[in-house]
Amino acid sequence: MKPRRTRRTRRGLGTITDVGAAIAATLCALSAVSAPQLAAQQAPPAQPVFRSGAQLIVETVTVEDKDGKVVEGLTAKDFTVTEDGVPQAISFVEFQKVERAPTPIRSAPAVAEPVAAPAVPTGAPPAVAYQISTPPPGDTRYRDRRLIVLYFDLTAMPPPDLTRAYAAARRFIKDQLQPQDLIAIMTFQGGAVKVKHDFTADRAQLEEVFLRLIYGDDLDGDGIPDYTPDTGTAFGQDDAEFNILNTDRQLSALQTGVTLLRALPEQKQLVYFASGLRLNGVDNQAQLRATTNAAIRANVAIFPVDARGLVASVPLGDATQASPGGIGTFTGQIATAIQTNFQRSQDTLYSLAKDTGGRALFDNNDLALGIVQAAESVSSYYIIGYYSTHTARDGKFRRVKVALNGGLSAELSFRQGYFADKEFGKFTAADKERQLEEALMLENPVTDITIAMEVNYFQLDRAEYFVPVAVKIPGSELALARRGGAARTVIDFIGEVKDDYGITIQNVRDKLDITLSDETAAQLAKRPIQYETGFTLLPGKYVIKILARDAETGRIGTYQAGFTIPNLNREIKRVPISSVVLSSQRVPMAGALYSVKKGAAPSVDPLVYDGAKLIPSVTRVFSTSRDLYVFLQAYERTEPAMPPLVAFVSFYRGDVKAFETAPLAVTGSFDPKTRAVPLRFSVPLSGFPPGRYECQVTVLNPGGQKVAFWRADVALVP
């Protein structure tokens, strides 16, 4: 009878490329052989052969019988492992027996309980920052244990939610921590991932960590920090404008956190506390996939916990905002929008859980239940290791199958495969070109370089639209080549645009050559690199994917996003307008600008005006010391002449209007070819206090009684 096999996403699979693990395993095997046995061998020992390309694959497998009980006592000869259909030689099999002791689940109290004054820890923490330590060979500290990581995304939680998350974690550690549980604590704040404590079962040490997180460094209240906080981080980015509005920075930090756990072959459960996580128009879809793949490779299941708990949404908003107005109040559009935004903020969290084998906790005030679910998801399992016969580091997916030998009947739970490592730096010119093209087709995106991108559209005629694309890369990402001694660096760009059916419509292959002089290198550390190109497309839904590679270091970044070009010819209820470009920089076309490589011809590109080119902001972060430029086009192809238009720009903080420009009357004629009327604003930002705003552009057609709105989040910095 053939064994029953199911493919679940409950157990993990990872890779370890260090051959040190193989050497350690060999030494352990030799130590088990007695001295007389070694003396009995007459032949001299053969010289060891080390292969640096060896890749150790570690997979966790659960084996259960028909009654749901874990099958114990299996060895390597009881398993068969294939990778892409090729049988693999199993190097070791280790059984992890995790006792499932009953765990009391205490529901959240209906009435707030009095909180006793905490015992303030004394003394400074260890001088050496905590890291996720890898046990040396023979160390069994993690055997038969449940490894749980509490990850707090401090950038995504307001103080009330953060307080609830800390309280839930402390309650779990105090009342629900089991003898087989080991807890590690990570935080993400200020562009950095920090390990606050390595895996431990010491309740006192974990409680001290939380007290320092809650009360800060000044625990005794004397106004003097008790110790100097560690400034070393596992993840950081100095380019502040890339961190303000982009959710993919949070996902990239989470990827760093799971990568820190990759060296441990055991199954890990990461409980991710956040107040929602929503991907918006400026975020990178490739980063979500890269984070998920990193968790799969590291044997990490993510259990997101929405720290907002059970939220009772007021249909028209609560007392923290002004009452809305307009027809949407009566039609239900405002209430629907509020509920939709809330649900979208949970979609990314659900995807992280579903794709990594975890479980999301939404709409529940007992946040500790999320930790309990993560702990109880771990049962006894086998760790199977083998050295893959596929040594090419091409980043492709390797499909893995595990089966039982000898006619054993059991249900197996294991990962279906893993993505191989990627290495693009050490190739010939032909190999680099081939690998860059292959990287564009990878399902596991390469995200070594941070990329932000903006896609706009402007109507050329009744059928075609010009789509300018602006790509921005932090200059500090490229300063590595200068520190390596290179006199110049080349940024390779490759990309494609696919339609809704997956057919490639347009593609681009270009490069940006930058001289790394002392002056240029100093600028790179402070300013981003911007590349521009453009496409001509028809109305429809598309997906654009752009790769950028530093040719000196081989590091690659990927940006992938969907966008829609509307058919403005069918717009009859509102004023047809193009997308809106926000900028703080106009560059003379005759001037040398190394940061912009390529764009459309000046006769086609609507961003070129009076011999200067408008550079899109991309990240929408502006300095109050510079003016804000706003540009868009309005169209009315059914009219013999463009009717008079009125346009203005407004800034909101929440629902409160902070500023509004004077109405701009536009009475210009059609462009002879595109029949478009350009609308240009210049808004001084010197009087604005720094912070986040919503920028709204309004275009009115008083005669036709039509209006068009456009809104986007912006951030102002000093």
pLDDT, tens digit, 9 for 90 and up, residues 393-403: 777 888 999 99
pLDDT of 16 above 60: no
Compute the distance between CA of residue 643 and CA of residue 342 in angstroms, rounded to an integer: 40
The CATH number fitting domain 431-566, selected from 2.60.40.3880, 2.40.160.50, 2.40.50.140, 3.30.70.2740: 2.60.40.3880
Residues of the chain with CATH 3.40.50.410: 146-313+352-364
Whole-prediction pTM value? 0.60
Q: What pLDDT score was predicted for residue 347?
A: 85
Provide the pLDDT confidence category of residue 644 given band limits of 50, 70 and 90. confident
Mean pLDDT of 352-371: 89
The yes/no answer on whether domain 146-313+352-364 falls in CATH 3.40.50.11540 is: no
Burial of 310 (0-12, 13-18, 19+ CB in 10 A): exposed
Highest mean pLDDT among 32-46, 193-207, 334-348, 673-687: 193-207
Q: Chain-wide mean pLDDT for the chain? A: 76
CATH code of the domain made up of 610-718: 2.60.40.2550
State yes or no: pLDDT of 430 exceeds 70.
no
Average pLDDT, integer, range 586-594: 59
pLDDT, position 249: 73
Q: What percent of the chain has pLDDT over 70?
A: 70
Contacts of 662-670 with C-beta under 8 Å, sequence gap 24+, read 666/634, 668/642, 669/641, 669/642, 670/641, 670/642
The predicted structure's pLDDT at residue 100? 65
What's the alpha-carbon Rg for the chain, to the nearest Å? 29
Residue 512's pLDDT band, with cuts at 50, 70 and 90, is confident
Out of 163-177, 365-379, 639-653, least confident range: 639-653
> 155: exposed, middle or buried (C-beta count within 10 Å: 0-12, 13-18, 19+)?
middle
Lowest-confidence pick of 113-117, 219-223, 295-299: 113-117
Sign of CA dihedral 550, 551, 555, 558: positive
Instruction: Provide the Cα torsion 423, 429, 430, 436; round to 10°.
Output: 40
pLDDT band for position 467 (50/70/90)?
Answer: very high
Higher-scoring residue by pLDDT: 278, 164 = 164
What tens digit of pLDDT does each residue of 67-107 get?
888 888 899 999 999 999 999 999 989 898 887 655 444 44
Per-residue pLDDT at 394: 74
Q: How far is residue 225's CA from residue 205's CA, in Å, rounded to a whole number?
A: 19
Find the mean pLDDT for residues 271-280.
Answer: 81
Check residues 648 and 672 and name the one with the higher pLDDT: 648
Quick one: which of 142, 133, 148 has its CA closest to 378? 148
pLDDT for 415 equals: 82
Domain limits, CATH 2.60.40.3880, in the chain:
431-566
Q: Which two tokens stand for residue 186?
A: 């990570």
Express as a percent the part of the chain with pLDDT over 90: 18
Q: Over the stretch 680-702, which tens digit does the pLDDT of each residue have?
A: 888 999 888 888 898 999 998 88
pLDDT at 330 over 80: no
Residue 6 has pLDDT above 80, yes or no: no
The mean pLDDT of 418-441, rounded to a whole number, is 69
CA–CA dist 300, 295 (Å, integer): 5
pLDDT at position 458 is: 93
pLDDT-based confidence at 628, cuts 50/70/90? Answer: very high
Q: What pLDDT, on a 0 to 100 scale, did the predictor assign at position 168?
A: 93
What is the helix, strand, coil percentage profile of the chain, to 5?
20, 35, 45
Q: 218: burial class by Cβ within 10 Å (0-12, 13-18, 19+)?
A: exposed
Q: Tell whether the model's pLDDT for residue 24 goes beyond 90.
A: no
pLDDT attached to residue 696: 92
pLDDT of residue 247: 64
Residue 167 has a pLDDT of 93
C-alpha span between 342 and 145 (Å, rounded): 37
Stretch(es) of the chain classified as CATH 2.60.40.2550: 610-718
Please tell me the predicted confidence (pLDDT) of residue 105.
44
